[in-house]
């Protein structure tokens, strides 16, 4: 059974490599990808989540790791989902995505262990499925790469850098910061994976990425979660973003900041 169909979070982690290997063997798209991934905790829209405590409290730090665990969980599941839904993707892409997906599972494990080290547990707060819902089975492979690896995970670079700075001066920061710093550092490679393969596939399909990027983003932006964190230009450049792409995201962020 594929990991996104297994409710228990620890079982998901244990099954991740088998799920990826099974997905690589598929010759046709598997039609039973669920509308939402199975969960052993409550899924609620983010607006319905209880208020958060500050990082100066242990509970606030645990809640932050819980939120991060939910994001890493969805990233892991989306990796398997992409392997399942795009069996004709380039072999090199699929092999790299397998490694990225296993890495997301390791990040998830780190978050869960961090939560427990603070005296809390997975499920003490509700989670959301916004990342899973941002993609669609009708997406092209370029759409999927842009949404997951360049928009969602790219936004994670910005958010992770902000988290690290906010944790400065808090009690127990060494343990929690170590987790967040390692995840943020390794996410640079995950995002760069998307940047490289976006351009590789554009090249193979005789598409100009400089023209395609803003056009494709404009067609997708209405269903993407709003991200308003300040952009970290240095991290994004390390992850393969061009100056023009960063400028596009800066404009998009300003649009998101303006209330409708």
| Domain CATH number, residue 138 | 1.20.1260
pTM: 0.94
pLDDT by 10s per residue, the chain, length 260: 799 999 999 999 999 999 999 999 988 777 779 999 999 999 999 899 999 999 889 999 999 999 999 999 999 999 999 999 999 999 999 999 999 999 999 999 999 999 999 999 999 999 999 999 999 999 999 999 999 999 999 999 999 888 888 888 776 667 888 899 999 999 999 999 999 999 999 999 999 999 999 999 999 999 899 888 899 999 999 999 999 999 999 999 998 887 54
Q: At what angle do helices 173-204 and 91-117 cross, to 10 degrees?
A: 170
Position 203 scores a pLDDT of 97
From the list 36, 30, 40, 29, the residue with the least C-alpha distance to 4 is 36
Query: Distance (Å, rounded) from C-alpha 137 to C-alpha 155?
Result: 22
Element (H, E) at 163: helix 153-166
Contacts of 154 (CB under 8 A, 6+ apart): 191, 194, 236, 239, 241, 249
Number of structural domains, the chain?
Answer: 1
Residues forming a β-bridge with 43: 127
Query: Distance (Å, rounded) from C-alpha 129 to C-alpha 13?
Result: 17
Length of the chain: 260
Position 136 scores a pLDDT of 93
Domain extent for 157: 3-257
Position 177 scores a pLDDT of 87
Cβ neighbours of 258 (radius 10 Å): 6
Check: CB of residue 117 under 8 Å from CB of residue 175. Answer: yes
How many angstroms from the chain centroid is the CA of residue 104?
8
């Amino acid at each position: 059974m594929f990991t996104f169909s297994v409710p228990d979070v620890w079982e998901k982690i244990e099954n991740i490599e088998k799920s990826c290997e099974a997905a690589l063997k598929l010759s046709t798209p598997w039609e039973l990808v669920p509308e939402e991934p199975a969960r052993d905790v409550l899924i609620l829209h983010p607006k319905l989540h209880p208020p958060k405590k500050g990082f100066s409290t242990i509970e606030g730090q645990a809640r932050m790791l819980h939120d991060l665990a939910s994001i890493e969980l969805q990233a892991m599941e989306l990796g398997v989902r992409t392997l399942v839904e795009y069996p004709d993707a380039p072999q090199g892409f699929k092999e790299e995505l397998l490694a990225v997906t296993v890495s997301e599972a390791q990040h998830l494990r780190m978050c869960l262990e961090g939560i427990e080290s603070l005296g809390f547990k997975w499920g003490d707060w509700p989670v959301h499925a916004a990342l899973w819902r941002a993609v669609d089975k009708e997406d092209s492979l370029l759409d999927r790469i842009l949404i997951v690896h360049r928009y969602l995970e790219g936004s994670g670079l910005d958010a992770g850098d902000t988290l690290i700075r906010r944790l400065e001066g808090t009690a127990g920061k060494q343990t929690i910061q170590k987790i967040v710093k390692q995840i943020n550092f390794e996410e640079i490679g995950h995002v760069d994976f998307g940047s490289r393969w976006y351009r590789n596939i554009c090249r193979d399909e005789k598409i100009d990425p400089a023209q395609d990027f803003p056009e494709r983003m404009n067609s997708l932006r209405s269903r993407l979660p709003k991200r308003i964190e300040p952009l970290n230009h240095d991290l994004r450049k390390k992850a393969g973003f061009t100056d023009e792409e960063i400028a596009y995201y800066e404009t998009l962020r300003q649009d998101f900041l303006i209330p409708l």
